[in-house]
């Protein structure tokens, strides 16, 4: 039987084995493992890649989000109890970052077609406590860019959760420099993934950058001098070196993902499936995930599994229905519920072969 992996991390990283090995040998021999030249180099490269002035690498994507909010709290741009708008259908980390630092998440339903926040339905969620929006570029697709204008007009901070959207861009705007600050994750399965945990904040705001650098390094401005309550959230030299190597391949990898998405969208014809909406002629979707909706999702998933095709669900339970947020996240979110009941992520990765893609397409087209 054919076997199509959802995402072979082993295969993705095998392409870089020689370069990884020589980077590791150099770092091992140097005796310098934290806050060294590889971290500095990667931060400079990633800032440039995102068209941002500054990049602060951190330990993971959740920390990146939390550190942005903590820096705003420290700088007096936010205060405990302020409300932050977040999409109701995001990965739970987006919402955790808000509630973990003493802010109030206000869930907003996504656009049913793009699965992303759209500027049209934000106005009715504003209260006099609303101070920020975290827009998620979900599945790799930029959120509605009218949100930038909406945030400015309403004096709101705009934070990008770009954990799924490394390299997405539209009309000269690049994920990571669209809002006031952006959070990235380098979790192994992301479009730019480390061989472990990693994350970064990009921003054009020097004060925010410096505050995040300080908080993430024990609140320390100079060694053993602590100006603010800090934490330990750092990317290490080895992960930074590996990420520098992989960053060079990111554009080609994203193009391959887009090629696969276009093939799926052109060739999958099934009355059981709704295919994702995206702009074919732009770089605004980098297809971290290719997500379809199907009223027969579970039957389709089992069928594909029997045919050797691995699929995943992003995500099976929406945040407002998680036990962790019982009694905290209130309200009805029918669009979000429908997406979670019907969504299915098809295999997509830069190393999927044409043969595998065609097999996925023909197998789905024979589903009945
Ligand atoms: C992966 C992810 C995060 C969290 O990143 P970690 O590195 O796993 O902490 C946050 N938001 C979104 C949308 C993600 O997909």
In 10 A of CB 36, how many CB atoms? 16
279 pLDDT more than 70:
yes
CA distances from 225 to 211, 213, 228 (A): 14, 14, 9
- CB burial of residue 104 (10 Å; 0-12, 13-18, 19+): middle
Q: How far is the CA of 59 from the centre of ligand 1 (A)?
A: 12
Ligand 1 contact, 141 CB (< 6 A): no
Give the mean model confidence (pLDDT) for residues 198-220.
97
164 Cα to the center of ligand 1, angstroms = 7
**Of 205, 211, 146, whose CA–CA distance to 181 is shortest?**
205
Contact status, residue 263 vs residue 361, Cβ threshold 8 Å: yes
Pocket flag, ligand 1, residue 187 (CB < 6 Å):
yes
pLDDT at 162 over 90: yes
Give pLDDT tens digits for 250-274: 999 999 999 999 999 999 999 999 9
Q: What is the mean pLDDT of the chain?
A: 97
pTM value is 0.98
60 lines ligand 1 (CB under 6 A): yes
Ligand 1 atom with the smallest distance to the CA of 94 is 11
Q: Which of 7, 61, 164 to mutate for ligand 1's pocket (most ligand atoms within 8 Å of CB)?
A: 61
pLDDT at 275 over 80: yes
Q: Could you give the angle at which helices 206-216 and 61-74 cross, rounded to 10 degrees?
A: 120
Nearest-CA residue for atom 4 of ligand 1: 61
pLDDT, one tens digit per residue, over 5-15 is 999 999 999 99
Any ligand 1 atom below 6 A from CB of 239: no
pLDDT of residue 209: 98
Q: Looking at the predicted structure, is the pLDDT value of residue 221 above 90?
A: no
Query: Each residue of 32-48: pLDDT tens digit?
Result: 999 999 999 999 999 99
Q: DSSP H helical segments within the chain, as ranges?
A: 9-14, 17-30, 37-49, 61-74, 92-100, 146-153, 206-216, 237-267, 297-306, 334-342, 354-365
Backbone angles phi, psi at 43, to 5 degrees: -60, -45
Cβ of 163 closer than 6 Å to ligand 1, yes or no, is yes
**pLDDT > 90? residue 232:** yes
Between CA 251 and CA 315 the distance in angstroms is 26
pLDDT score, position 281: 87
Over residues 83-96, the mean pLDDT reads 98
pLDDT at 1 over 90: no
Residue range 288-297: average pLDDT?
A: 98
Going by C-alpha positions, the residue among 179, 213, 176 that lies closest to residue 63 is 213
94 lines ligand 1 (CB under 6 A): yes
pLDDT greater at residue 118 or residue 248: 248
The Cα 349–Cα 11 span in angstroms is: 10
pLDDT given at position 305? 97
Q: Tell me, in angstroms, the distance from the centre of ligand 1 to residue 287's CA.
A: 15
Q: Which residue's CA is minimally distant from atom 3 of ligand 1?
A: 61
Cis check: omega of the bond before 315, within 30 degrees of 0: yes
Which two tokens mark 227? 């100006």
CB 121 within 8 A of CB 109: yes
Determine the distance separating the centroid of ligand 1 and the alpha carbon of 185, expressed in angstroms: 5
């Amino acid at each position: 039987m054919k076997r199509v992996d959802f995402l072979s991390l082993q295969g993705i990283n095998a392409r870089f084995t020689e370069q990884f090995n020589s980077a590791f040998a150099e770092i091992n021999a140097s005796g310098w493992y934290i806050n060294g030249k590889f971290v500095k180099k990667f931060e400079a490269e990633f800032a440039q890649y995102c068209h941002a002035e500054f990049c602060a690498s951190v330990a993971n994507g959740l920390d990146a989000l939390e550190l942005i909010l903590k820096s705003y709290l420290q700088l007096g741009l936010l205060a405990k109890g302020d409300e932050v708008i977040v999409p109701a259908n995001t990965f739970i980390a987006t919402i955790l970052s808000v509630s973990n630092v003493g802010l109030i998440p206000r869930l907003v339903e996504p656009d049913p077609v793009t699965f992303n926040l759209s500027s049209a339905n934000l106005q009715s969620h504003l209260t006099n406590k609303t101070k920020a929006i975290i827009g998620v570029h979900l599945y790799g697709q930029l959120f509605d860019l009218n949100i930038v204008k909406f945030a400015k007009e309403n004096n709101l901070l705009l934070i990008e959760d770009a954990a799924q959207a490394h390299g997405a861009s539209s009309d000269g705007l690049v994920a990571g420099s669209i809002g006031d600050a952006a959070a990235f994750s380098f979790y192994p399965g992301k479009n730019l993934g480390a061989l472990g945990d990693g994350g970064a904040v990009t921003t054009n705001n020097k004060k925010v950058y410096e505050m995040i650098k300080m908080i993430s390094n024990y609140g320390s401005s100079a060694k053993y001098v602590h100006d603010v309550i800090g934490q330990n959230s750092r990317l290490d030299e080895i992960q930074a070196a590996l990420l520098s190597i992989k960053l060079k391949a990111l554009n080609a990898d994203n193009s391959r993902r887009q090629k696969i998405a276009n093939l799926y969208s052109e060739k999958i014809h099934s009355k059981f499936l709704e295919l994702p909406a995206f702009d074919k002629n732009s770089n605004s979707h980098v297809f971290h995930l290719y997500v379809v909706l199907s009223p027969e999702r579970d039957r389709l998933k089992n069928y594909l599994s029997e045919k050797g095709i691995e699929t995943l669900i992003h995500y099976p339970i929406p945040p407002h229905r998680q036990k962790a947020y019982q009694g905290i996240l209130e309200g009805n979110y029918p669009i979000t519920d429908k997406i979670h009941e019907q969504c299915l992520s098809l295999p997509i990765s830069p190393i999927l072969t044409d043969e595998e893609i065609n097999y996925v397409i023909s197998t789905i087209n024979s589903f009945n």
